Amino acid sequence: MSKYVLLLFALFCAQAQADDEAYQQCLLQYQSQVEIPEAAALVRNACNHVHRELVMLPRKKAYWQCVLDYISPVKTREVMADLLQVCREQHDFKK
């Protein structure tokens, strides 16, 4: 029994390390494009949701990926708000 517990613990630790590396790569990829502070916070949050959350509905993951894909390069808050609304509508995030 204890062998199984140790095996599960080892698998969990390995997955957590892989998730952390993916999270860091996400930050490196998307934060370098950010020009406004609010977008930086959204990118951190999206990277966290996409790479560190263990259980997530596919539409929620798609929403956060949409945020990553489109929010980083925005130059104004107005455009950022419009893009967030489109991501919410496209991925049915609030249902």
Whole-Å CA distances, 7 to 4, 10, 27, 57: 5, 5, 30, 27
DSSP 13: H
pLDDT tens readout for residues 22-36: 999 999 999 999 999
pLDDT along the chain (95 residues), means of 10: 46 52 95 93 95 84 95 94 95 70
What pTM was estimated for this model as a whole? 0.75
